[in-house]
């Protein structure tokens, strides 16, 4: 039954639900106002009477939390919750929840979409075929780039949570050797996955995939020094958080041929500024933060969002990160 005493404001609902799903289940729980997008300077006005907020990427900082006197709940419509000042929320008695594990399989899939595109040049050869280049060749086969087999190569994974573990399993199925930098004990790791320190993972990996959270310690993790440790013609994949990578340093490594390629589904600023140096690097495959966005993953996301709000309204909050 709807609780009209509670006001919910959805600040940026469009990314997760661009119109192919319903908000009815949320609206059945409380009085809802749903905005497709909210600029930073609109948050306070739109949420002034809110008891509850849902946000995907709209930042809820300390000053915002302090200014919203009615606020009791912030639901992050994602797994990562660094957009919310959790310490400030805790101080003000505001419950913060997230949505864990909804996009595991979709993100693992885009990791390998990038890897396969780099190792097999899928985009390149599709363009060549459509442009008639293959048709003009005298042989049944045509290739002008390296074609790389992943079997026997070393897959390095930084962060072995749900997504990192899913990536490890796919790598093992492809016959790759897996090194992981993780807080888990070796005994907790699947057969075929070897725990290693961060320097070993960077220096020994043929493919290095980032799956760690963004913290003060991991910001800029992939910098010029780390890139210099990597094998010549290694591949870097980042589907986690853009600021894990020093983008200028990565652009330089790609420009000088240090790496075979990079596959990125996240950037430090999204959408990127036109002068982002990675946009000029042909060895850098960039997708616009779509790894999480399969309909299957978004349906799981919506179900957990509703479940989180319902649990809070009933006084039994779940998936609490504050």
Of 100, 74, 110, 76, give the one whose Cα is nearest residue 89: 74
Q: How far apart are CA 86 and CA 92, in angstroms?
A: 10
Three-state DSSP at 86 gives helix
Is 270 catalytic? The answer is: yes
Residue 268 in tokens: 């430090």
Of 82, 33, 42, give the one whose Cα is nearest residue 61: 82
Q: How sure is the predictor about 145, in pLDDT bands with cuts at 50, 70 and 90?
A: very high
pLDDT at 5: 80
Catalytic position from the list 241, 283, 298, 300 = 241
Q: What is the pLDDT of residues 26-63, one digit of tens each?
A: 999 999 999 999 999 999 999 999 999 999 999 999 99
Three-state DSSP at 208 gives strand
Q: What is the pLDDT of residues 197-227, one digit of tens each?
A: 999 999 999 999 999 999 999 999 999 999 9
Q: How far apart are CA 251 and CA 222, in angstroms?
A: 12
Catalytic position from the list 36, 91, 149, 270 = 270
pLDDT at 2: 64
Q: What is the pLDDT of residues 79-132, one digit of tens each?
A: 989 999 999 999 999 999 999 999 999 999 999 999 999 999 999 999 999 999
Tell whether omega for the bond before 81 is within 30 degrees of 0, i.e. cis: no
pLDDT at 202: 98
pLDDT at 146: 93
pLDDT exceeds cutoff 80 at 1 = no
Q: What is the pLDDT of residues 232-275, one digit of tens each?
A: 999 999 999 999 999 999 999 999 999 999 999 999 999 999 99
What burial class does residue 85 get, using C-beta atoms within 10 Å of its C-beta: 0-12 exposed, 13-18 middle, 19+ buried?
buried
pLDDT at 271: 95
Is 114 catalytic? The answer is: no
The pTM (predicted TM-score) of the whole model is: 0.93
C-beta of residue 310 within 8 angstroms of C-beta of residue 321: no
C-beta of residue 244 within 8 angstroms of C-beta of residue 222: yes
DSSP summary character for residue 245:
B
Q: What is the pLDDT of residues 66-76, one digit of tens each?
A: 999 999 999 99
Catalytic position from the list 181, 211, 285, 289 = 289
pLDDT at 99: 97
Q: What is the pLDDT of residues 75-85, one digit of tens each?
A: 999 998 999 99
DSSP summary character for residue 176:
-
């Amino acid at each position: 039954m709807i609780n009209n005493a509670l006001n919910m404001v959805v600040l940026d609902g469009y990314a997760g639900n661009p119109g192919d799903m319903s908000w009815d289940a949320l609206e059945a729980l409380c009085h809802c106002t749903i905005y497709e997008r909210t600029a930073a300077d609109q948050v306070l006005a739109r949420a002034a009477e809110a008891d509850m907020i849902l946000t995907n990427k709209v930042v809820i900082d300390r000053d915002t939390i302090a200014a919203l006197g009615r606020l009791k709940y912030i639901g992050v419509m994602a797994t990562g919750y660094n957009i919310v000042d959790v310490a400030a929320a805790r101080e003000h008695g505001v419950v913060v929840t997230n949505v864990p594990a909804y996009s595991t399989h979709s993100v693992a899939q885009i990791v390998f979409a990038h890897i396969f595109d780099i190792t097999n040049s899928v985009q390149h050869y599709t363009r060549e075929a459509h442009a008639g280049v293959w048709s003009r060749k005298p042989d049944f086969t045509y290739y002008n780039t390296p074609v790389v087999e992943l079997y026997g190569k070393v897959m390095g994974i930084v962060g072995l949570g749900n997504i990192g573990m899913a990536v490890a399993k796919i790598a093992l199925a492809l016959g790759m050797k897996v090194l992981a930098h993780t807080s888990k004990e070796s005994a907790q790791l699947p057969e075929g996955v070897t725990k290693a320190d961060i320097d070993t993972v960077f220096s020994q990996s043929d493919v290095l995939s980032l799956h760690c959270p963004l913290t003060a310690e991991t910001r800029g993790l992939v910098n010029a020094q780390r890139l210099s440790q990597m094998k010549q013609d290694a591949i870097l994949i980042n589907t986690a958080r853009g600021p894990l990578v020093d983008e200028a340093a990565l652009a330089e490594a790609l420009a000088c041929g240090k790496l075979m390629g990079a596959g990125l589904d996240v950037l430090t600023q999204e959408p990127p500024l036109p002068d982002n140096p990675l946009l000029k690097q042909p060895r850098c495959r960039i997708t616009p933060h779509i790894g999480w966005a399969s309909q299957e993953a978004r349906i799981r996301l919506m179900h957990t969002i509703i479940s989180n709000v319902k649990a809070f309204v009933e006084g039994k909050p779940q998936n609490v990160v504050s």
